[in-house]
Amino acid sequence: MTDQEKVIALFRELGSFNLVSHMQPDGDSIGSLLALGEALAMLGKGVRLFTPAPVPRKYAFLPGSENISAGSDGWEEEAAAVVVDCSDLERTGHFKEQIRRAAVVINIDHHVTNRRFGTANLVDPEAAATGEIVFRLLESLQLKPTASIAECLYVAISTDTGSFKFENTTAAAHRAAAALLESQPLNPGIISQRLFDEHPLSYLLLLKKVLGTLELYGGKRVAVITASRDMLEQCGAQPDELDGIINYARNIEGVEIGIMFYIDGSGEIKIGFRSKNIDVSALAGRMGGGGHPRAAGCRLKGAYGPVKERVIGAALLELEGAPSAGRVQ
């Protein structure tokens, strides 16, 4: 029996499911949760939907998102737990203990680091999104996507591929998206405007302030921007609105490393690194942090001035060693 067959057998056999996705809910976790929940309901199953934090405003347009609960009310102790888009149980936050108590745990995910914590594990690191795995499950269950399922899965796949731009964008991801577009009259233009183009005014005001701090070093190969909690307050922005602003620094033509300092008032300064070719995880690692080769970070104690000087110094050293050692094709 394949992993997918095991999961399908459990879906057919059991009557009731608590579905959970991860902290800091994103388009893939919410879209997969809603689509799978609706599919199980179509099979006549009892379904309850949970995320460890409320659904962000950006995803509130997804049909059924109002039925997702951030608290444990409604959790059915006798039901099987279905964990979606989580590499380990820590990612389920305060639902962790309830999931551990469940007799059956079904783990559906695409992270290469997945710990296979379930009774049944359907883990495919080749899948661009968990939504792609859910799409295949529905095909095997011979369930035709409804309009809401098609929209949720399209959002899941398009967010995890960065609107079909990231390296994980495969032919299979495109095929799943194409099948969803064929199955129902979706409007990809409206969906991508909502997901990628539209922002709250607070974000634009914050972006303007943060980009106002732009400085260039090392022959314009290192771009540095700085944000602070004061700036967030002045703009009425939430900390998650800082996500992605660092990419503006990295994306400048000729720049190799983008750095963002965030002074959050905790006494520690958060530092993010983004690069085009250089391994910034090594750079962050030398300062007690870590991450991926092109996206990493660390936190340093101290005043902004000396911390900034140290970090920029380290980045310039990394850059000097780059042509032979650090550059990856």
Contacts of 223 (CB under 8 A, 6+ apart): 214, 215, 216, 249, 250, 252, 255, 257, 258, 259
Q: Which stretch binds Mn ion (CB under 5 A): 20-28, 62-70, 272-280, 295-303?
A: 20-28
What is the spatial distance between Cα 69 and Cα 62, in angstroms, rounded to a whole number? 14
Nearer to Mn ion (CB atom), residue 30 or residue 105: 30
Q: Which stretch binds Mn ion (CB under 5 A): 62-70, 128-136, 165-173, 183-191?
A: 128-136
Nearer to Mn ion (CB atom), residue 28 or residue 241: 28
**CB 75 within 8 Å of CB 47:** no
Q: Which stretch binds Mn ion (CB under 5 A): 61-69, 81-89, 179-187, 277-285?
A: 81-89
Helix (H) or strand (E) holding 227: strand 222-228
Total count of residues recorded for the chain: 329
Contact pick of 85, 124, 241, 318 for Mn ion (by CB under 5 A): 85
Find the shortest distance in angstroms from Cβ 139 to Mn ion.
Answer: 19
CB atoms within 10 A of CB 305: 8
Find the shortest distance in angstroms from Cβ 59 to Mn ion.
Answer: 13
Contact pick of 7, 28, 224, 269 for Mn ion (by CB under 5 A): 28
Work out whether 124 is an interface residue with Mn ion (CB under 5 A): no
Nearer to Mn ion (CB atom), residue 85 or residue 318: 85
Question: What order of strands is seen across the sheet that includes strand 16-20?
Answer: 68-69, 46-50, 16-20, 80-84, 105-109, 120-123
DSSP 21: -
What is the spatial distance between Cα 151 and Cα 186, in angstroms, rounded to a whole number? 7
Q: Which stretch binds Mn ion (CB under 5 A): 1-9, 126-134, 198-206, 267-275?
A: 126-134
Find the shortest distance in angstroms from Cβ 268 to Mn ion.
Answer: 29
What is the spatial distance between Cα 19 and Cα 24, in angstroms, rounded to a whole number? 16
What is the spatial distance between Cα 101 and Cα 81, in angstroms, rounded to a whole number? 9
Nearer to Mn ion (CB atom), residue 23 or residue 216: 23
Count residues near Mn ion (CB under 5 A): 4
Binding mask 150-189 for Mn ion (x = CB under 5 A): ----------x-----------------------------
What is the spatial distance between Cα 326 and Cα 318, in angstroms, rounded to a whole number? 7
Nearer to Mn ion (CB atom), residue 160 or residue 256: 160
List residues binding Mn ion (CB under 5 A). 28, 85, 130, 160
